[in-house]
């Protein structure tokens, strides 16, 4: 339901009020789809409300669109959280956050280049750089802003940028700002990449950007092969490892570390709201590039810096990850256990290699019905449909957390099996 703006237009001797609609064909279709979702109850499951910390279990009710009044609060096992490391709610992190608020207040009240930098930002960025094995790191207000900062600043008219066709929307939007020639390649296809690079040998400035862990399918970018091709053809590599940091690889250092290619990657972009339990994004790179971004990247220059409590939280989280290698190891073991059980039941999990586990349902109605059945059984999962994925690729997306117990996983597996059979996914 779009808002119409009232404007006044002169008409001969008088004035007439007219409505000017913001709608175009695309927005009309969006509005109609929302209305349809409200009518059939699918919107009940979108923007569900949390009434407790979003840890391995949580108290949740249906969304504000629900006709159920008042909405019942249900205790659920949370299989939809980006809290891969299980560090959200960790007592040492909470204490660090509280101490930072007491010392610095709730905000830095400024942008980084003026009055928005405090010593926590400097410490956080140094710890991030060391953790990731890069020279420097920059923090910005979100992972989305980090992609806009890198791609909109470093990639320019006259450049070419190769981008995986399933890259995150923030990469798509960042490339729109760049002015560069954007060339999508087939998902994770080294052959497609090389074919393109052969055709653009003559171009001096070439970039390749890819998700590290693909957020909808859960698979890794083929970074070893990408590095080999990019070295051969003189291409800068940018990896968005938003879903890898604090999740995969030794100590949760991400997919670049897991695949042993960190020193070959020019820029690692990531999030501090997933495996790292805060908010904001980061850019890890060499010192020269970091200085350019500080001076020229609009999302860094024109956005307020991240709050002190978040800086302190992420600093503490990195300390915990560095001293507890079992966090990422246990998560990997539980992921293999969970995925194998579901595959043996007949579910299609695509080619996931991570704790992002898609259950392909194909039919959107079945996916939402299965999500509802699981919610009723006390299991929280996320339904994903068009436009986030193709219309024929609707799915449930599961994100596992390191602190889920095997008993909890077994309960969820049984509930998923029952719901899957009921709706005909298996």
Averaged confidence pLDDT in the chain: 94
CATH ID of 91-323, from 3.90.230.10, 3.30.160.620, 3.40.640.10, 3.40.50.300: 3.40.640.10
In this prediction, residues 248-272 reach a mean pLDDT of 98
Select which of 81, 108, 215, 313 is catalytic.
Answer: 215
Dihedral angle over CA of 42, 45, 46, 50, nearest 10? 160
Q: How confident is the model at residue 20 (pLDDT cuts 50, 70, 90)?
A: low
Segment 156-168 mean pLDDT? 97
What is the CATH code of the structural domain delimited by 44-78+326-423? 3.90.1150.10
State whether residue 99 is helix, strand or coil.
helix
Q: What percent of the chain has pLDDT over 70?
A: 95
- Active-site residue among 121, 206, 236, 243? 243
Question: Is 215 annotated as catalytic?
Answer: yes
Q: What is the mean pLDDT of residues 391-412?
A: 97
The residues, ordered by sequence, that sit 6+ positions from 116 with a Cβ below 8 Å of its Cβ are: 108, 109, 110, 304, 305
Per-residue pLDDT tens digits for 184-238: 999 999 999 999 999 999 999 999 999 999 999 999 999 999 999 999 999 999 9
pLDDT at 384 over 90: yes
24 band by pLDDT with thresholds 50, 70 and 90: confident
- The pLDDT, as a whole number, for residue 3 is 45
Catalytic residue among 236, 274, 334, 366: 274
What are the pLDDT digits (tens) for 64-118?
999 877 778 999 999 999 999 999 999 999 999 999 999 999 999 999 999 999 9
Q: Which long-range contacts (CB under 8 A, 24 or more apart) does 342-351 make?
A: 342/413, 342/416, 345/413, 345/416, 345/417, 345/420, 345/426, 346/420, 346/426, 347/416, 347/420, 347/425, 347/426, 349/218, 350/217, 350/218, 350/219, 351/217, 351/218, 351/219
Percent of the chain topping pLDDT 90:
90
* 3-state SS assignment for residue 92: helix
Does the active-site annotation cover 355? Answer: no
Residue pair 317/277 in contact by the 8 Å Cβ criterion:
yes
Each domain of the chain, given as residue ranges in start order, spans 44-78+326-423, 91-323
| Least trusted range by pLDDT, from 58-67, 324-333, 340-349, 415-424 | 58-67
With H, G, I as helix, E, B as strand and everything else as coil, classify residue 10.
Answer: strand
Distance CA 12, CA 262 (A): 70
**Higher confidence at residue 22 or residue 279?**
279
Tokens 């600043």 belong to: 153
pLDDT tens across 282-301, in order? Answer: 999 999 999 999 999 999 99
Judged against a pLDDT cut of 50, whether residue 248 lies above it is answered with yes
**Catalytic residue check, 108:** no
Instruction: Report helix, strand and coil shares of the chain as percent, to nearest 5.
Output: 45, 20, 35
pLDDT score, position 28:
87
In this prediction the pTM is 0.93
Are 342 and 357 in contact by the 8 Å Cβ rule? The answer is yes
Same fold, 44-78+326-423 and 91-323: no
């Amino acid at each position: 339901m779009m808002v119409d703006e009232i404007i006044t237009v002169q008409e001969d001797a008088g004035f007439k009020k007219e409505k000017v609609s913001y709608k175009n064909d695309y927005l009309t279709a969006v509005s109609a789809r929302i209305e349809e979702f409200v009518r059939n109850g699918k919107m009940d499951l979108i923007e569900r409300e949390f009434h407790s910390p979003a840890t391995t279990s949580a108290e949740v009710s249906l969304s504000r669109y629900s006709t159920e009044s008042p909405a019942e609060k249900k205790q659920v096992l949370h299989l939809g959280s980006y809290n891969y490391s299980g560090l959200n709610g960790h007592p040492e992190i909470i204490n660090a956050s509280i101490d930072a608020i007491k010392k610095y207040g709730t905000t830095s009240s400024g942008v980084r280049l003026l009055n928005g930098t405090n010593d926590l930002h400097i410490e956080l960025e140094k710890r991030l750089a060391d953790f990731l094995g890069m020279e420097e790191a920059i923090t910005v207000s979100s992972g989305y802003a980090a992609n806009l900062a890198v791609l909109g600043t470093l990639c320019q008219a006259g450049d070419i940028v190769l981008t995986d066709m399933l890259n995150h929307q923030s990469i798509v939007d960042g490339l729109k700002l760049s002015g560069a020639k954007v060339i999508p390649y087939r998902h994770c296809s080294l052959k497609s990449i090389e074919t393109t690079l052969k055709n653009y040998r003559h171009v001096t400035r070439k970039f390749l950007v890819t998700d590290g862990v693909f957020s909808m399918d859960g698979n890794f970018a083929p970074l070893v092969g990408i590095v080999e091709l990019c070295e051969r053809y003189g291409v800068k590599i940018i990896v968005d490892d938003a879903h890898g940091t604090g999740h995969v690889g030794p100590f949760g250092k991400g997919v670049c570390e897991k695949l042993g290619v960190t020193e070959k990657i020019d820029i690692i972009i990531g999030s501090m709201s997933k495996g790292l339990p805060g908010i904001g994004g980061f850019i890890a790179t060499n010192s020269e590039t970091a200085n350019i971004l500080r001076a020229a990247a609009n999302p860094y220059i024109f956005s307020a810096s991240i709050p002190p409590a978040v800086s302190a939280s992420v600093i503490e989280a990195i300390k915990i990850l560095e001293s507890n290698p079992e966090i990422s190891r246990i998560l990997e073991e539980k992921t293999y256990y969970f995925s194998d059980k579901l595959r043996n039941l007949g579910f299609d999990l695509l080619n996931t290699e991570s704790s992002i586990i898609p259950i392909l349902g194909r039919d959107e109605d079945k996916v939402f019905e299965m999500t509802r059945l699981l919610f009723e059984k006390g299991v929280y999962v996320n339904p994903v449909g068009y436009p986030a994925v193709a219309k024929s690729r609707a799915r449930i997306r599961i994100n596992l957390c390191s602190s889920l117990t095997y008993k909890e996983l077994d309960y969820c597996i049984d509930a998923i099996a029952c719901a899957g059979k009921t709706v005909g996914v298996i």
